[in-house]
Structure 1
Amino acid sequence: MSTRLEHLPLQTAPITTGDAADLRRFLGLVPDPRGLRGRRYPALALLCAAAAAVLTGARSLIAIGEWIADAPQPVLGVLGFPADPLTCIRPAPHAATVRRRLQRLDGDALDAAIGAYPQARTPPPQRPEPPPKPALRAVAVDGKTVRGSRTATTTAIQLLAAMDHHGVVLAQRQIASKSNEIPSFQPLLDSIDLKDTVLTGDALHTQHGHGAYLRKHGAHYLAIVKKNHPGLYAQVRKLPWADIPLDHHTRDRAHHRDEIRRLKVAAFLHLDYPGARQAIQVVRRRRELSTRKLTIERVYLITSLGVFDATPA
């Protein structure tokens, strides 16, 4: 029994008054082997006194009994020994009484109680910080016509290229003469690792098949929605943009014009496009610095990025 109690001083964390009081809750789970008659000293008080003796250096049943017998009256009161109603003196049990009481304890029950106490005092393990999300790589897909490739008998050569925002061409594919960019989109991207990328392109590439292909390969998209997809365009345009507050705005001056962009974002899960999570409305106000002509353009976009992955800015 004393061997199990010796594990109490091995706890490295400081024991406060609250911790000591909390130990009583665990020691109270140890059953009392005595009968109903002859219980002069409470079982919990005897166990708390034994634990206190061990914490002060007692290493045997005799030493525990002697420590309890010599304990001052205030200490006996804290440990739970009752006072005599006439004399108000708290009698301490004899060392032999303590020894017999501890020898009859259920060792397994005491072992479980002492073992549960430090586990309860140990703070729950902190979850490791999740690894930071990898930075998303921006890739633009766009078509172009090769200058000087037109001849008297052949049309100009058209290419579809995927390029990152550092100007590096990641892939390039020639478009068939009697076709367009749409069939070349997926074959072009098959040679690129699309995981953790965000693809942008013309409204021509806002195709359900393209969106499903990108999400299947771990890529996100930022797609322009125009009237070439009337159903999707009507769904995005009819969102309650008037009730949505302005989320972000910028003002730039370049290319001989002053441009103000106002952006609103709406998070919706029912957009009719694979993996769409947000719809965006961008209002562009452009003023030509030379002619002072003002043009206002309203553009709608959708993206598979959620509100925590892509802020309005």
Structure 2
Amino acid sequence: MTWTSAWAAVPVGQVGERRVIAVDGKSMRGAAVDGLRPHLLSALTHADRAVVGQLAVPDKGSEIPALKDLLEPMDLTGTVITADALHCQRDTATWLIERGADYAMTVKANEKRLHQRLKQLPWRDVPGYSPLDTGHGRRVRRTVKAIEAPAWVDWPGAAQALQIPRTPNRQGPQAN
């Protein structure tokens, strides 16, 4: 067991009583070799943004199978895994559930039918929470709305559907 995987077994980065880990891939700028930029898939805790795992992958498309390799050494029991739309795959959701984890994944056009059906939910009738986030020269308002997943959502472990539209505004003299 490596130091990183041993450390990842410690309940750090908890939000309330749950450990929450984000999985995300990034290409490294300024580090290209023969025109290819290194691409890393990382696991970070939400609470303190500590890196608890990282793998080099050939490219963005290689992130999907690498997610399991990245998280395999960790005890995921009771952990919430967050991931972008690239990882919104039935196989990934099933694997996480089998490992005792819950998940929050973005649904976009890569799951076209599910995405279209979720857009048809009665979002106007759902109350939302809309904090203003200020940083990086921008002000962004994200409205978070959550409802119970309808029975027709045929997705492994789906319990809720969330909608998070954002409204960006630039800061500075021209800001609204």
TM over 0.5: yes
**Aligned mates of 1:292, 1:204 — CA distance in 2:** 35
Aligned match of 1:218: 100
Q: Counterpart of 1:220 in structure 2: which amino acid?
A: D
Q: Which has the higher contact order (CA 8 A, sep 6+)?
A: 2
Distance 1:224 1:293 in 2: 29
Q: What's 2:85 paired with?
A: 203
Larger radius of gyration: 1
CA contact (8 A) 1:145 1:157 kept: yes
CA RMSD of aligned residues (A): 2.2
Gaps of 5+ in 2: 1-15
Q: Which has the higher helix share?
A: 1
Q: Secondary structure at the match of 1:212?
A: helix
Partner deviation per Cα, 1:71-92 (whole Å, 9 max, x = no partner): xxxxxxxxxxxxxxxxxxxxxx
In 2: Cα distance, 1:198 partner to 1:219 partner: 6
> Per-residue deviation at 1:229?
1.1
Q: Give runs of aligned pairs for residues 128-167 of structure 1, distance below 5 A.
A: 135-152=17-34, 155-165=36-46, 166-167=48-49
Instruction: Give CA deviations for 1:219-262 in whole Å, capped at 9, x if unaligned.
Output: 111111111110110121111212x2313221233222222222
Number of residues paired by the alignment?
A: 159
Aligned residue among 153, 161, 170 for 1:271:
153
TM score, norm. by length of structure 1:
0.47
What is the match of residue 257 of structure 1?
A: 138
CA contact (8 A) 2:126 2:147 kept: no
1:286 counterpart = 2:168? yes
Measure how far apart 1:178 and its partner are: 9.3
Q: Tell me if the contact between 1:155 and 1:177 (Cα under 8 Å) persists in the aligned partners.
A: no
Native 8 Å contact 2:39 2:60 kept in 1: no
Aligned residue for 1:265, secondary structure, equals strand
Query: CA offset at residue 148 of structure 1?
Result: 4.3
Structure 1 residue identity aligned to 2:148? A
Match of 1:227 in 2: 109
Q: Deviations over 1:47-93 (max 9, x none)?
A: xxxxxxxxxxxxxxxxxxxxxxxxxxxxxxxxxxxxxxxxxxxxxxx
The aligned runs of 1:1-313 (5 Å cut-off) are: 135-152=17-34, 155-165=36-46, 166-176=48-58, 179-242=61-124, 244-268=125-149, 269-290=151-172, 292=174
* TM-score for the superposition, normalised by structure 2: 0.80
SS at match of 2:93: helix
The question of whether the paired residues in 2 share the 8 Å contact of 1:142 and 1:161 is answered with yes
In structure 2, do the counterparts of structure 1 residues 253 and 177 end up closer, same or farther at CA, with 3 Å as the change threshold?
closer
